[in-house]
Amino acid sequence: MTDVTLTEVLLKRRDFPESLLIPFVDYDTYMQVTDKINLFRIGKDLNLPIPISFLSTDFENTENLIEMVRKFGFPLVVKPSFSKIRTKKGWMNAGVHYANDEKGLRKILSHDVFQSFPYLIQEKIEGPGVGIFLLMKNGEVIAKFSHKRIREKPPSGGVSVLCESIEPPEDALHASVKLLAKLHWTGVAMVEFKIDREKNIARLLEVNARFWGSLQLAISSGVDFPYMLFQLANGEKIEKPDRYTIGLKSRWELGDLDHLFIRLLKNPSKSNLPSNHPARLTLIKDFLFDFFRPEVRNEIFQAKDPGPFFHEMKEYVNNLFH
């Protein structure tokens, strides 16, 4: 369920026997949206709502790029074209950074990953994160689902650790379908947005051209994407739901614990938190009460199948000590 595993499978697709069905698009189509620079070029061509973006590949050198973003102003988000970069020596992690001034920007751009690989600089969008989940066949929507991010790891923005099922925002759904229909998409994808709080517009952030981390929320809400993808791959009639449960919440327990630790132990002024972040005391209260709220479901721990949770807990404790 990661870009690393799917990339390796798609690159070696011809090595698998023909009898093995791989229900994902081909590698080149996958890269069209996984490569963020290419994604935002497509988004601009389709007139989709995207953040103001400066692409490193559009500038002769770093100084020209810095001169341009200086005119735009700060704060800014700096992100590599890929979250995980495939190199001859293996896979390299490449995270998102925040620049509050030119000095901070220059420091970020001095990192090896930005010296060696393409990247983009974008305006920082203030607002909640929203995901549009789709199953498509040749660009036509078969099933859809949407969630709103409540807490993330890191708190500045990242993996969802508490999210809620919602009706798909119309502008985000329209942009998602327009984007994937352009590529005649077949299979699953999650298109991620930030709702620009100031202008109330869903702005495109990235596409997970694969299964996503908060998949369990969709399944618990009544949209079983894995089973429907299985049916699609086998040419079977797809049992798609007419509706799904709204207001259900899914919680990645240990990820949420990490969120709490980061908020309690890290200086808020250095955490690039959203402007409306809850106070620490409120966060502690919500973290504890969520164990008892009936609308909140555990993402990993299941009473009928506790093994995955205990495995993750063991790894979590080992990481703490190392």
Single residue among 81, 105, 123 that ends a domain in this structure: 123
**What sign does the dihedral 196-259-192-72 (CA atoms) show?**
positive
Please write the tens of the pLDDT for every residue from 74-125.
Answer: 999 999 999 999 998 999 999 899 999 999 999 999 999 999 999 999 999 9
Residue 233 confidence (pLDDT) above 90: yes
Q: Are residues 60 and 168 in the same domain?
A: no
Q: Are residues 118 and 158 in the same domain?
A: no
CATH number, residue 192: 3.30.470.20
Residue 255's pLDDT band, with cuts at 50, 70 and 90, is very high
Q: Are residues 109 and 46 in the same domain?
A: yes
CATH number, residue 19: 3.30.1490.20
Report the alpha-carbon distance of residue 264 to residue 258 in Å, rounded.
Answer: 10
Report the alpha-carbon distance of residue 305 to residue 159 in Å, rounded.
Answer: 24
Q: What is the pLDDT of residue 320?
A: 85
Residue 185's pLDDT band, with cuts at 50, 70 and 90, is very high
| Per-residue tokens: 7 | 């990339």
Single residue among 123, 154, 174 that ends a domain in this structure: 123
Q: Are residues 35 and 155 in the same domain?
A: no
Q: Are residues 78 and 195 in the same domain?
A: no
Residue 273's pLDDT band, with cuts at 50, 70 and 90, is confident
Q: What is the pLDDT of residue 194?
A: 95
Q: What is the pLDDT of residue 251?
A: 96
Q: Are residues 185 and 104 in the same domain?
A: no
pTM of the model: 0.92
Q: Are residues 143 and 262 in the same domain?
A: yes
Report the alpha-carbon distance of residue 76 to residue 145 in Å, rounded.
Answer: 30
Identify each DSSP E strand in 220-278 by its residue range: 249-251
Single residue among 97, 123, 149 that ends a domain in this structure: 123
The domain in which residue 264 lies consists of: 127-322
DSSP 130: E
The domain tally of the chain equals 2
Q: What is the pLDDT of residue 220?
A: 94
Residue 267's pLDDT band, with cuts at 50, 70 and 90, is confident
Residue 274's pLDDT band, with cuts at 50, 70 and 90, is confident
Q: Are residues 134 and 151 in the same domain?
A: yes
Mean pLDDT for the stretch of residues 43-51: 96
Q: Are residues 137 and 104 in the same domain?
A: no
Q: Are residues 152 and 258 in the same domain?
A: yes
Mean pLDDT for the stretch of residues 162-171: 96
Q: Are residues 132 and 119 in the same domain?
A: no
Q: Are residues 118 and 135 in the same domain?
A: no
